[in-house]
């Protein structure tokens, strides 16, 4: 008789959701988490809650308000004196939000009767898990099912070794106690742009060094171009094709780092007070798998799984950032639910084709489905509908009218294949389209749905009408 029906290793958005769902379905569930706080209490929520999604959004909101107050209130006729930012207070507030949420998960574990086990989990063979606590004490637990949800860690690159103070990763970037005068960001991906935005709004001179020649290659390029324009206008100095070759820490009074890099014009260098290295994340499988556990990894270190997150080893599943697919919290969570339900005997599946993704800059960027580039590459004939927020009454009233909604639909069947938004509340706007796409919506269906006025979501409605050439609030492009 196994100790548990389910043991989940990792209490991040993948693990804790899987554990809660499993417990809801009546399975005896334990969740192993190695993270502890200064008081040796277990910390749930993983990277997402503690040093990722949540804290970054808290800082993005704080810095956005500061920026509005300093630069945009005037436009409304609001007169404020000199606006100041108390960075430690801002960081403190962020910490409070995080604490509330991680405490919330502990509460959910209790109410759902998930047993939280503090320690590092390691998968052994024959459905056993070895848990090593903070003092090194080991125990072996057995379970009918084991879900690996150990998450990911930031990738480090040799030219810029982290020192935790001047050269930091995303975690460090959420803890600065003062606004760096000059901030270097390596990697113009989602994390780099978000963190760069935070400190840029607060007054940093931010230079983003991106090794690739394309900006945000995975998103629709029309949106990417617009994003580049807007972010550059906001003050981010984004350098594409810039490969970092080395760094030199400077100690003493002029503390900082000198970075050398190469672009198409040759060798360059820049100096920064602080530098954030955010070039991507890799699956965290060190110490997770015993040599004989039977679970396979691919050449990039991701655990190999099938469409239902089964590893091939009976009773062993893996979800979230340690397996293939977009490294997104909501993807991990849904995989967790799918696995828990399948363990309980349901027939659960996931629609990997309709996972939305968001970049929380301002304006926000959100996308679901195929980009125009992907459709071209697949040889699919499509129609496009674009509606700029500049034509949205609500956006203008809010003085927040940068960006557009772009909708792509199959030319023959009108089925919506993708929706890409840059603008206010992009994530929430795009989500309505995600739901509709789950029901195989056509652009016309969205066009026939009544949308509230005056609301930002009308832009989605108009973009859908524009797909078929009859938007009301903009001139329609003649269809080819």
Instruction: Tell me whether residue 380 is exposed, middle or buried, using C-beta atoms within 10 angstroms of its C-beta: 0 to 12, 13 to 18, 19 or more.
Output: middle
Tell which one of 304, 415, 431, 474 touches other proteins (CB under 8 A).
Answer: 415
What is the Cα–Cα distance from 148 to 146, expressed in whole angstroms?
Answer: 6
Q: Which is nearer to other proteins, 271 or 468 (CB)?
A: 468
Does 413 bind other proteins (CB under 8 A)? Our answer is yes
Is position 453 annotated as part of the catalytic site? yes
Tell which one of 63, 284, 333, 441 touches other proteins (CB under 8 A).
Answer: 441
Instruction: Give 385's strand partners.
Output: 407
Does 410 bind other proteins (CB under 8 A)? Our answer is yes
Task: Name the minimum Å distance from CB 449 to other proteins.
Answer: 7
Tell which one of 110, 412, 477, 479 touches other proteins (CB under 8 A).
Answer: 412
Does 449 bind other proteins (CB under 8 A)? Our answer is yes
Q: Which is nearer to other proteins, 425 or 442 (CB)?
A: 442
Total of chain residues touching other proteins, rule CB under 8 A: 15
Candidate ranges 98-106, 124-132, 396-404, 441-449; the one touching other proteins (CB under 8 A): 441-449
Candidate ranges 32-40, 101-109, 169-177, 447-455; the one touching other proteins (CB under 8 A): 447-455
Does 442 bind other proteins (CB under 8 A)? Our answer is yes
* 213: nearest Cα among 183, 241, 249: 241
Candidate ranges 45-53, 109-117, 121-129, 444-452; the one touching other proteins (CB under 8 A): 444-452
Rounded to whole angstroms, what are the CA distances from 132 to 23, 50, 142, 318? 24, 22, 14, 20
Task: Name the minimum Å distance from CB 406 to other proteins.
Answer: 20
Candidate ranges 146-154, 400-408, 419-427, 433-441; the one touching other proteins (CB under 8 A): 433-441
Tell which one of 81, 137, 439, 480 touches other proteins (CB under 8 A).
Answer: 439
Residue with tokens 């003062």: 178
Q: Which is nearer to other proteins, 440 or 452 (CB)?
A: 440
Residues numbered 23-82 forming contacts with other proteins, rule: CB under 8 A? none
Task: Name the minimum Å distance from CB 442 to other proteins.
Answer: 4
Tell which one of 414, 462, 463, 466 touches other proteins (CB under 8 A).
Answer: 414
Task: Name the minimum Å distance from CB 446 to other proteins.
Answer: 9
Q: Which is nearer to other proteins, 410 or 428 (CB)?
A: 410
Tell which one of 115, 130, 175, 444 touches other proteins (CB under 8 A).
Answer: 444
Q: Which is nearer to other proteins, 450 or 475 (CB)?
A: 450
Among candidate residues 308, 453, 461, 473, the one labeled active-site is: 453
Does 448 bind other proteins (CB under 8 A)? Our answer is yes
Task: Name the minimum Å distance from CB 347 to other proteins.
Answer: 15
Q: Which is nearer to other proteins, 54 or 437 (CB)?
A: 437
What is the Cα–Cα distance from 392 to 143, expressed in whole angstroms?
Answer: 55
The CA-based angle 33-37-42, given to 5 degrees, is 30
Task: Name the minimum Å distance from CB 469 to other proteins.
Answer: 15
CB atoms within 10 A of CB 271: 15
Task: Name the minimum Å distance from CB 478 to other proteins.
Answer: 22
Catalytically active residues are 453
Q: Which residues bind other proteins (CB under 8 A)?
A: 410, 412-415, 438-442, 444-445, 447-449
């Amino acid at each position: 008789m196994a100790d548990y029906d389910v043991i989940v290793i990792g209490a991040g958005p993948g693990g804790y959701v899987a554990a809660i769902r499993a417990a809801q379905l009546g399975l005896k569930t334990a969740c192993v988490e190695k993270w502890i706080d200064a008081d040796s209490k277990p910390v749930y929520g993983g990277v997402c809650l503690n040093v990722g999604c949540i804290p970054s959004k808290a800082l993005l909101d704080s810095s956005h308000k500061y920026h509005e107050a300093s630069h945009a209130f005037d436009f409304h006729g609001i007169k404020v004196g000199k606006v100041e930012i108390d960075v430690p207070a801002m960081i403190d507030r962020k910490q409070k939000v995080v604490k509330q949420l991680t405490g919330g998960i502990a509460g959910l574990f209790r109410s759902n009767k998930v047993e939280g086990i503090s320690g590092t989990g390691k998968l052994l063979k024959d459905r056993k898990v070895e848990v090593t606590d903070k003092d090194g004490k080991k125990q072996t637990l057995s379970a009918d099912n084991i879900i690996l949800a150990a998450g990911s860690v930031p990738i480090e690159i040799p030219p810029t070794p982290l020192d935790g103070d001047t050269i930091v990763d995303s975690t460090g970037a959420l803890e600065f106690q003062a606004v760096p005068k000059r901030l270097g960001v390596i990697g113009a991906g989602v994390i780099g742009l978000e963190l760069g935005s935070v400190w840029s709004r607060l007054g940093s001179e931010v230079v983003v060094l991106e090794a690739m020649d394309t900006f945000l290659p995975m998103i629709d390029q029309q949106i990417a171009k617009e994003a580049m324009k807007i972010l550059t206008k906001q003050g981010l100095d984004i350098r594409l094709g810039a490969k970092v070759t080395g760094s030199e820490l400077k100690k003493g009074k002029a503390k900082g780092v000198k970075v050398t890099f190469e672009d198409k014009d040759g060798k360059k260098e820049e100096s920064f007070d602080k530098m954030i290295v955010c070039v991507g994340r890799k699956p965290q499988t060190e110490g997770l798998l015993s040599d004989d556990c039977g679970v396979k990894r691919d050449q990039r270190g991701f655990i190999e799984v099938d469409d239902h997150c089964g590893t091939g080893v009976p009773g062993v599943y893996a979800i979230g950032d340690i397996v293939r697919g977009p490294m997104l919290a909501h993807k991990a969570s849904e995989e967790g639910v799918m696995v828990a339900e399948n363990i309980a005997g349901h027939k659960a599946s996931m629609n990997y084709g309709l996972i939305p993704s968001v970049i929380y800059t301002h304006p926000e960027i959100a996308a679901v489905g195929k980009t125009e580039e992907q459709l071209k590459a697949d040889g699919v004939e499509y129609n496009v509908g674009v509606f700029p927020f500049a034509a949205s009454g609500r956006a203008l009233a809010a003085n927040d009218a940068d960006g557009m909604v772009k909708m792509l639909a199959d030319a023959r069947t009108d089925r919506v294949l993708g929706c890409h938004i840059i603008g206010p509340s992009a994530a929430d706007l795009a989500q309505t389209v995600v739901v509709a796409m789950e029901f195989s919506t056509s652009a016309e269906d969205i066009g026939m749905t009544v949308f509230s006025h005056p609301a930002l979501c009308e832009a989605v409605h108009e973009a859908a009408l524009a797909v078929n050439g009859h938007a009301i609030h903009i001139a329609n492009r003649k269809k080819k």
